[in-house]
Structure 1
Amino acid sequence: MKVAVSSTGKELTSPVDPRFGRADYLLLIETTTGEVVEVIDNRETAAQAQGAGIAAAGRLAEAGARAILTGVVGPKAAQVCERAGIAMVNGASGTVAEAIAKFNATPPPSPTDQAVTPTSVSPGRPAPGAARSRCRAAGGPSRDGQRAQGRGNQGRCRRTMRTAR
């Protein structure tokens, strides 16, 4: 499995760079052999004013990385990694070799294996099985068990509206 590590240098003894998009180098390591298979010079990308993380994530996807070990992957770069199926391991520290050893001891689940529980299927409506409002104005059941028709009061509970005034 190819794993990428953000690094300050080109060797396994180099420290892990805590900045993913602005790291000087991205080392691709084959976890079965523990050898560096590719070194991506990221200094040009790191110098960009914006989008360094997105560009670095794209380069890793093209190189075939299945995981990234780094200090922090930013939210925009994380979206690219998720779409590419790259697992993200934040909080990596020490040398590149130490980060790989720790990864091999406890590999993370792939991004597609992680269960996501939706909290809402549409604005103002709880997801199936989620706790429902008891307020009729917010779409909760009334005393006779019927739901309120329409979205009167913008879906807010009357008690909430009184205190907001």
Structure 2
Amino acid sequence: MKHGRKVPKLQRDAAHRKALLANLVCALVEHRRIRTTLAKAKAVRPLAEKMVTLGKRGDLHARRTAIAELRQTGSVKKLFEEIAPASKERQGGYTRIIKLGQRRSDSAPMAFIEWVDAYVPAAAAPAAEEAEAEVVTAEAPAEEAPKKKRSTKKAAEAAAE
């Protein structure tokens, strides 16, 4: 019988597994998308979704619970200020797992785990628009300038005579 077999053990003891999952959630918060094995991605999904649920609550107790679980205050701050507000309308299913195939070295199945609601930090949004405007203005003069002919040996000799 398979009673009590719901926790994916990942061939680690409890403390190592808990630290691994906390670090994976922190990496997911930091980078918005991480590449890991399929088993680890499936194991980290419930913890990541619980953290977003805590972030949506947003109260002091939820923040302290998240800090106790993840042990990184910077990641918890980013979770509560950027990721959770982006998923405010969603009732669940905050992450998605994309299968990538097998790893070359040991044929372990690999996957991306990422947030469904891709968020853009408020400070980065205007910077992206300004960068886009700079690209447009930089391209306009380049199109108007006449193109120079490539010099060849014959053209150089004719110009020298």
Structures share fold, TM-score greater than 0.5: no
Higher helix share: 2
TM-score relative to the length of structure 2: 0.29
Higher strand share: 1
TM-score relative to the length of structure 1: 0.28
